[in-house]
Amino acid sequence: MLFCPTCANMLGTINGHCNSCPYEFPISKQMTSRSRMKRKEVDDVLGGEETWRDADSTAITCDKCSHPRAYFYQLQIRSADEPMTTCICAGCAYQWREN
């Protein structure tokens, strides 16, 4: 996108004319550019691996890897009538909700 240096309105993409003032920017070739944005690092909202060291756990079998232990926490995601308990497998970190 190009902007007019006199009135700061966006210039037309086909002809380069400003719709608000007499400014013209002759477009002789296609003008494009690409840039890769750097992804920001995602913060672990649950506290990271240190939190799970002392977290509550229970003897429940993981459906994915059959590990006999899982951590659990309660997090209200939707309405009050839906289950809140979420389990995380201690072996493979698979997550599921308990009903």
Q: Where are the domains of the chain?
A: 1-34, 49-97
Higher pLDDT pick, 29 / 69: 69
Positions annotated as catalytic residues are 81-82
- Is residue 80 helix, strand or coil? coil
The average confidence (pLDDT) of the chain is: 79
- Is residue 5 helix, strand or coil? coil
HEC secondary structure over 11-74:
CCCCCCECCCCCCECCCCCCCCCCCCCCCCCCCCCCCCHHHHHCCCEECCCCCCCCCCCEEEEE
Predicted local distance difference test score (pLDDT) of residue 80:
67
pLDDT at 18 over 80: yes
Class of domain 49-97: mainly beta
pLDDT at 54 over 80: no
Residue 88, H or E segment: strand 85-89
Contact yes or no for 29/23 (Cβ under 8 A): no
Can you give the pTM of this predicted structure?
0.41
